[in-house]
Amino acid sequence: MSDSVDTTVDATSSRELIKRALSHGKKGRINKDLSNKIMLGVFRAAAYITTLVLLAIIAYVVINGLPHISLDFIFGWPQGVNAEGGIWPTIVSTIYVTALAMLICTPVAVLAAVYLAEYAKQGKIVDIIRYAADALASVPSIVMGLFGYALFVEAMGLGLSMVSAALALALLMLPIVMRTTEEAIRAVPRYIRWGAYGLGATKWQVVSKIVLPSAFGRIATGIVLAIGRAIGETAVVLYTMGQAINLPISPLDSGRPMTVHLYLLANDGINMNAAYGTALLLMVIILAFNLFARYLSRKRR
């Protein structure tokens, strides 16, 4: 490029120069329209494939599972080599462990989020906490299972039990609930806080009476999503809850959750019908929770 002085640009010559340079461009109209059409088609295809796969999975599980769902199947006790009959104890185990995990996780996660959103000053400590939460969220579930086994089952002597599995699941849910709660708290408009401070409320009063209630809907959405995640988890509970068919009463009882039951049924291949039925029930429960979460977040708007 010449470094010519440009205090007085000759408008016409400049225009001519640009036009001449432009005229050297190849006319690629057909090419351009064609590539546009093709590429938009490719993107459309990608989206449709994704959607079709989802529908295929759901349809497949529903079609094969529905004929085997009955009251006996849901509320019955397994028979034979645990492949015949019903799956009631596994449903109870799943509900039991998920509820326990939620009770353990929610208070800690919410208070942690309150700290991050309301109290913490940006700095090293907060950076470390956030990194830890992200790392926790991405720990492979089998590693969480190993850890749960080493700490809760063996070191703490809780054995293969509801509470061991619930503690491990709670760790898995913690970052999910923490993040959604923090986002929920941050979404509460500042002027609402100012209003409360203006009336002489202490920080805790503002947080507990104003901020958390206003953020409740979004927090609930996060908790429901985390529950969905916990119900579907297999690798974490495989070696923390055990695999015994058992109707858990005390938190120290062991049991077999639906996911593990499905895994064992599919692996043994003795009664695939029961596997389809279990898969369908599991999917319905989880989709119900996810839809409920969507409903909660929709209602908020």
Pick 71 or 129: Cβ nearer another protein: 129
Stretch that binds another protein, among 70-78, 209-217, 248-256, 261-269 (CB under 8 A): 261-269
Tokens 């947080």, located at residue: 207
Q: Which residues have CB under 8 Å from 237's CB, separation 6+?
A: 97, 145, 165, 168, 169, 257, 259, 260
Is residue 211 close enough to count as binding another protein by CB under 8 A? no
Q: Which residues have CB under 8 Å from 10's CB, separation 6+?
A: none
CB of 6 to another protein, least distance (A): 5
Is residue 219 close enough to count as binding another protein by CB under 8 A? no
Of 92, 95, 196, 266, the one binding another protein by CB under 8 A: 266
Site for another protein in 63-102 (CB under 8 A): none
CB of 273 to another protein, least distance (A): 12
Stretch that binds another protein, among 73-81, 137-145, 188-196, 245-253 (CB under 8 A): 137-145
CB of 142 to another protein, least distance (A): 4
Q: Which residues have CB under 8 Å from 146's CB, separation 6+?
A: 239
Q: How many residues does the chain have?
A: 301
Of 91, 116, 215, 219, the one binding another protein by CB under 8 A: 116
CB of 214 to another protein, least distance (A): 18
DSSP E strand stretches across the chain: 78-79, 84-85
Is residue 214 close enough to count as binding another protein by CB under 8 A? no
CB of 88 to another protein, least distance (A): 19
Is residue 26 close enough to count as binding another protein by CB under 8 A? yes
Contact 271, 83 (CB under 8 A): yes
Is residue 259 close enough to count as binding another protein by CB under 8 A? yes
Is residue 231 close enough to count as binding another protein by CB under 8 A? yes
Of 63, 66, 74, 132, the one binding another protein by CB under 8 A: 132
Strand partners, 84: 79
Tokens representing residue 115 in the block: 């700290």
Pick 43 or 71: Cβ nearer another protein: 43
Task: Report d(CA 168, CA 177) in Å as an integer.
Answer: 15
Contact map string, positions 149 to 178, toward another protein, x by CB under 8 A: xxx---x---------------x--xx--x
The two beta strands, 84-85 and 78-79, are antiparallel
Tokens 């015949």, located at residue: 84
Of 106, 239, 253, 277, the one binding another protein by CB under 8 A: 239
Task: Report d(CA 177, CA 224) in Å as an integer.
Answer: 9
Would the CA dihedral through 225, 226, 231, 234 be positive or negative? positive
